[in-house]
Amino acid sequence: MTTARLRLLAAACGVLAALAGVAVGTALAAAAGGPSPVVAVGNSVVSLTPGFVKDFAVRTFGESDKAVLLGTVAVLLLGVAAAAGVLGATRRRLGVGVVVAVGAVAAAATAADDTTSVWPVIALLAPVVATLVAAWTLVLLLRTLPEPTRSGGAAAEVAAEVATGPARRPGDDLPSGFDRRRFLVTVLGTAAVAASAGGVARVVGGSEAAVSRANLRLPVPASPAAAVPSGIDPLPGVTSYLTPNRDFYRVDTALIVPDVPADTWRLRVHGDVDRTLDLSFADLLDMPLLERRITLTCVSNEVGGEYVGNATWIGVPLAELLRRAGVGRDADALKSTSADGMVIGTPLDAVLDGRDALVAIAMNGEPLPLAHGFPARMVVPGLYGYVSATKWLVDLEVTRFSELEAYWTERGWAEQAPVKLASRIDVPRSFQSLPRDSVRAGGVAWAQHVGVGAVEVRVDDDPWEPARLVPQDGIDTWRQWTWRWDDPTPGDHTLTVRATDADGTTQTSDRAEPRPDGATGWHSVSFSVE
Ligand SMILES: Nc1nc2c(c(=O)[nH]1)N[C@H]1C(S)=C(S)[C@@H](COP(=O)(O)O)O[C@H]1N2
Ligand SMILES: [Mo]
């Protein structure tokens, strides 16, 4: 019990030392504009994680995948720190060695982190100083604990005393070599250092992009979107036609949203072009802007999944940008790079064939939300996001696919990925029970840049029946559908949906996983009629 208490104190010393180190490291990193050592480790985990684990994480944790990852890194770190404390209580060098080993991992992760443009030597300062602070604090704290050689009787008793209160037998702390006051002062001092470093990190690490976004005034688009046709949002429970920004799905590899203020943002257009362009945000706003509704889909979307959303975007036509640069004749790919080092390859024909491929600056009447790519991102109707929708866009290179190493393509996803025809049931929800007099169903279907021609539903193995479609807005957006079962049979049923695109192709029933180029199969839900 008393030895256990001593261990506990030593573990607490380890944890406290780690917190002090991380706080100081994070403050330094924030001042330099780089990632906190913890985030750098998280970023490395992301880039070293095999694709199937990543897919699993996205499936299982959805949008909290980033919080889960950072939480795991933090828990592991604190666990190792506690171990360093316990080891260090009896063998100082070993404890310090563990701290230095953890620091080395953080330093390696920082060096490998390509989500920042901070000069590597400056970026490395954070993990190195963090390690020194943690090691030094650990030694300082452990020194105030009872001497390990005496940790049998007296020392353990005194350790117990720390928790139970003042010495009942004055003078007992002298022979044990334990100065309780010195221990508490050191602990409080460390905590104060950690807290104030944390405060510094918060203040200097504040997002410049958020300020720049708040100050931005959107220009009026030269070509506004047509009015939304009437008759949309036909049934409660069906996904709203336009997805509010706060509900819009988010898929990216960024643990910390890149901080890219519009005032210093530049977009370089180069590669196989007649002239290189180097544009500021103001240059972009001076070009003729289009406003268009476009439905965006993630290739990881499962049948019936939620990784799809429809928004009104404002942006510069990519084709116009490329026309100004002058595209070489051999090029077939547009390589786009984000501020956080994401590399995406898009087929040039899709960008140049007349569709509304945009460098977007606004989403649903607001500047792009930070998480959705502020200040500028790509949006290309008809292509999955991972081959087209680069957020925090900073670089466009006209090139060839044979010379391009795109992030997702390197991880087993297809190089070319047009969005597949799909349909989804939103109501009834799975296992919902509906009153007999109102069995209604509804959902959405999408076939971006082809258009949805028809949606059909079927109950159990009955014949397919046509669903009612809301009026078509454009071929780049999804369409909502509804259906009513006029004479329902009470009991349990399965409802299945399938769509046919504007070219007359009907959705295949063959089930395919999202990897490598998008899921296929019909969505169905079980429900019952009362
Ligand atoms: N910089 C960057 N851009 C990115 C990604 C990313 O990881 N990093 N992910 C892409 C993927 S896979 C998709 S589906 C879309 C999602 O855009 P959203 O988060 O705005 O919905 O962004 C794309 N653009
Ligand atoms: Mo995606």
Ligand 1 closest atom vs CA 252: 7
Place of tokens 């993990």: 127
Average pLDDT, the chain: 89
Q: Is 313 a pocket residue for ligand 1 (Cβ < 6 Å)?
A: no
Ligand 1 closest atom vs CA 384: 14
- Output 500 or 254, whichever has higher pLDDT: 500
CATH code: domain 245-411 is 3.90.420.10
Residue among 240, 334, 340, 342 nearest 35 (CA): 340
Q: Is 342 a pocket residue for ligand 1 (Cβ < 6 Å)?
A: yes
The predicted structure's pLDDT at residue 148:
52
Residue among 430, 441, 524 nearest 485 (CA): 441
Q: Which helix (H) or strand (E) holds 26?
A: helix 2-32
- Output 84 or 193, whichever has higher pLDDT: 84
Eight-state DSSP code of residue 512: B
CATH 2.60.40.650 for the 422-529 domain, yes or no: yes
8 A C-beta contact, residue 131 and residue 106: yes
- As beta bridge partners, residue 378 has 359
Which tens digit of pLDDT belongs to each residue from 150-163? 444 444 444 444 44
Residue among 204, 259, 210, 261 nearest 31 (CA): 204
pLDDT confidence band for 305 (50 / 70 / 90): very high
Q: DSSP letters of 188-223?
A: HHHHHHHHHHHHHHHHHT--HHHHHHHT--PPPPSB
Q: How far is CA 3 from CA 151, 166, 420, in A?
A: 7, 19, 64
Q: Is 372 a pocket residue for ligand 1 (Cβ < 6 Å)?
A: yes
- As beta bridge partners, residue 245 has none
The predicted structure's pLDDT at residue 118:
65
Eight-state DSSP code of residue 225: P
Inform me whether the pLDDT recorded for 231 exceeds 90: yes
pLDDT confidence band for 176 (50 / 70 / 90): low
pLDDT confidence band for 378 (50 / 70 / 90): very high
Range name among 68-82, 91-105, 107-121 with the lowest pLDDT average: 107-121
8 A C-beta contact, residue 22 and residue 36: yes
The predicted structure's pLDDT at residue 277:
98
**Helix 65-90 vs helix 51-61: angle between axes, to the nearest 10 degrees?**
110
Q: Ion ligand 2 — residues with CB under 5 Å?
A: 251, 298, 385-386
Whether the model pTM is above 0.85: no
Inform me whether the pLDDT recorded for 173 exceeds 80: no
Which tens digit of pLDDT belongs to each residue from 40-71? 888 788 777 777 777 777 777 766 777 788 88
Domain pair 245-411 / 422-529, same fold = no
Inform me whether the pLDDT recorded for 114 exceeds 80: no
- Minimal-distance CA residue to ligand 1 atom 15: 385
Eight-state DSSP code of residue 387: G
CA of 297 to the centre of ligand 2 (A): 7
Which tens digit of pLDDT belongs to each residue from 275-299? 999 999 999 999 999 999 999 999 9
Q: Is 389 a pocket residue for ligand 1 (Cβ < 6 Å)?
A: yes
Place of tokens 């559908």: 481
Please state the domain extents for the chain: 2-206, 245-411, 422-529
